[in-house]
Structure 1
């Protein structure tokens, strides 16, 4: 059996894997459940994610990636190894070649950590590409022409903003505010205003169900349960859309400012192209209701949500793997 080339979107919230010839074969949360004393891995991905906030003291759930980069090298390596082994892409005497994505402007040390973790997980050769470039390709943008294309990729840990032309990044910024930040904002707001302690999963549910980035959106409400900070007993409260908007408003402003900074650094000719073509939104965080409207209003440029925002990065790795095939074979 021969090894296959694989592309990995190593995200703070989720890991997605594309196998050449098969398409996207894995989409699982970036979570590892371990035995604290021995550090033995008990579960990874969706199985581990179900344990968050529900596991006994004998089980610890770990998110090995923070803000788009590796925070826990050993756990990242173990998680990747489990995922890659599950796919059966390793041959008897061969290992797969891996194309993996990282945020823009990561340090050389952070890139090396991603590369080393991939090699230890079973890669023969590792290629690293910047996430917004790969997301743009996966979203169907033609970035190889001498014209400006702008993308905002909002993941779990970072929002990567870039202007691309002729196959490269012209200007870019990586903002450490994204989907997970919104969850934390909501959790803290409910704790402060409702005196209710909730978990990450509940905060994420509130964001998905009634969250909005645009004031004046349709008002919705959701009933949530948690622990009353005053009595320590279970309690239910109702949370509304305006409450959620207020909780995340400051974080939204940080992303908007990041996009403005990139536009201010963009050469005039490319700026003209962006006015014509608009800005493409990708990543799981891009699914927040009204985010395209907010960015369009603030940046004075049309903003479009990609067709499959969650899978643009990993789809882009598949396209790049096809383009690199000749180079792979030479090596």
Structure 2
């Protein structure tokens, strides 16, 4: 099977390393200095206090690459549309596309049921291009739980976790999902197939909404955000509102907010992926983590004042910093 990791940053390279160890040779699509280092020196991964160098096949988004059987997209949500021309060139008739992307997915309404119209979500697919050009029917949902950091170009450090959940947007094509789960499990990733992958997305989003924006606003790591009385209070309000929105769309939150916050604290001094992007001067995944949640809140007529307030503060912070440069 030809496998491509599209958007091979920290988490994508972690997946690639695991697949490589069991004989798969995934093609990595990356960019910038990270791509240059992967091509020249390979990938260096530190995991469980052990470092390993792996020679990988790395490509840029302008490079020729033959169509793939499985594409694992680990781009940020806002980077998918700009990559469509190259990404769609890698798709053949039977290609599966696994979207391992934080936040509310562009295919959210596909197969949701409840009499809802199957349509793109404006915040993450404003022109419906992803829906039209990739198509939700070939898409598989995915939630990645490992915490991984990009230390330097071509160098990653695994912080914690090995759990992955995958599932169909519609209750169809279970065979393909089981095949992919077997590949990932054989590669040492603790992979589960979920009948309702949206529920799993909401559970992770619960933490993303609470901690990712706050980490950029304050510069705090997860342990500090989860234990400081002030940010813990704000995170609790954010989680209450996210839970109300998710519940409207059928999500079930099987733990208390306190337990979820304690889980975040236990990760330790880890920088969220959004904070890592901010520190590296990259665009932030606010469209999928904040804007899409508020879009769903508006459609459901659910009030979300704390999420809206944090969104406004974060946007003002970023706008002010841009105007000063």
TM-score by length of 2: 0.32
Whose Rg is larger? 1
Which structure has more strand as a fraction of its residues? 1
